[in-house]
Amino acid sequence: MQRLFVGIAAGSLLLAVTACGSSGNSGDSASESGGTTKVKVGVIPIVDVAPIYLGQKKGIYEKYGLDVSMTAAQGGSAIVPGVVSGQFQFGFSNTTSLMIAQSNGVQVKAVSNGVASTGVDGKDYGALVVKKGSSLKSAKDLEGKTVAVNTLKNILDTSVRESVRKAGGDPSKVKFVELAFDQMPAALEKGQVDAAMAVEPALTTILNQGGVEIASPYVDVAKDLTVAMYFTSQTYAAKNPDVVKKFQQATTEALAYANSHPDEVRDIVATYTQIPASVLSKVTLPKWPQDISRSSVETLEKLGEQDGLFKTAPDLDKLLP
């Protein structure tokens, strides 16, 4: 899992640039060569971002005059400062991270959809799981227990809280710990955590070692949940509207291609992670709709406000495309 550990280190480094704010240099970092604009994209090494890698391989971004390169980080909250400081021109971040950033005065702008839940309970690409033989049978049983999420006070613990709430439990009694996705299977197996909110491919790894799914938190939030989006900074968008438009168009096309070519998605995931083919063949793929579900984003906003995640209410009209 070497590449994943490199991503974690990158995430830690990115956190250090949060204080950079909306750097005036962020619009000058992309470079042009032979009519092609080179752009860097911060991503998380999980199944969710398969479309951008697939789009790169199939020449979709090249068709729009873009030369994209990806850099891995642990989570969207780490990617945000990288985009705002100009280290990346675009980034992939979960919806809640972007709303938190905006509520803190960080000038981010969503460019296109990123990934969505399958909307099917028990058959989603993200799930709340426990180890084999666990006495925990539902989200309600998590009261007083420890749950692993990749980033604290973000979309995963908000979603888990909603599952606990819908199961009749008290979400305030659940303890969350931060753990990278690729570390969740071992931590769960060793009993270091009681449950984990895992996404693919970590989810399949856990299920393969006997883990049991007890809830589908994304589905509990909304059937058509827009889990993450690709974004840029307001500064970069203002200075480079043509590049942003091209990236938006190319990414929309890449999402559609990935949605209709699941076998190619599984193949491309093997190029940026070291997940065994035996695991990839069992992975539940997410949905990659071309449009953002605003209603699901509004639901996430309400849950985030309930959890006290925002200093001020996010302005969705300014955040969304």
Q: Is the pTM of this model over 0.95?
A: no
What was the pLDDT predicted at 18?
34
What was the pLDDT predicted at 312?
92
What was the pLDDT predicted at 76?
64
Please state the domain extents for the chain: 2-117+224-319, 126-221
Of 41-55, 181-195, 265-279, least confident by mean pLDDT is 265-279
**pLDDT tens by residue, 193-238:** 999 999 988 999 999 999 999 999 999 999 999 999 999 999 999 9
Of 30-39, 120-129, 245-254, least confident by mean pLDDT is 30-39
Distances (CA, A) of 16 to 81, 91, 258, 293: 8, 17, 34, 32
CATH superfamily of 2-117+224-319: Periplasmic binding protein-like II (3.40.190.10)
Amino acid at the residue 80: V
Going by pLDDT thresholds of 50, 70 and 90, the confidence category of residue 155 is: very high
What was the pLDDT predicted at 275?
81
Helix, strand or coil, per DSSP, at residue 71 = strand
What was the pLDDT predicted at 198?
96
259 has pLDDT over 80: yes
Of 88-97, 152-161, 266-275, least confident by mean pLDDT is 266-275
What was the pLDDT predicted at 274?
79
**pLDDT tens by residue, 43-102:** 988 889 999 999 999 999 999 999 999 998 866 667 899 999 999 999 999 999 999 999
What was the pLDDT predicted at 77?
65
282 has pLDDT over 50: yes
What was the pLDDT predicted at 75?
65
The pLDDT > 70 percentage for the chain reads: 88
Give the pLDDT mean for 90-118. Answer: 95
What was the pLDDT predicted at 4?
36
Going by pLDDT thresholds of 50, 70 and 90, the confidence category of residue 3 is: very low
The pLDDT > 90 percentage for the chain reads: 79
What was the pLDDT predicted at 61?
98
More confident residue, 32 or 142: 142
Identify the CATH assignment for 126-221 out of 3.40.630.40, 3.90.1150.30, 3.30.160.270, 3.40.190.10. Answer: 3.40.190.10
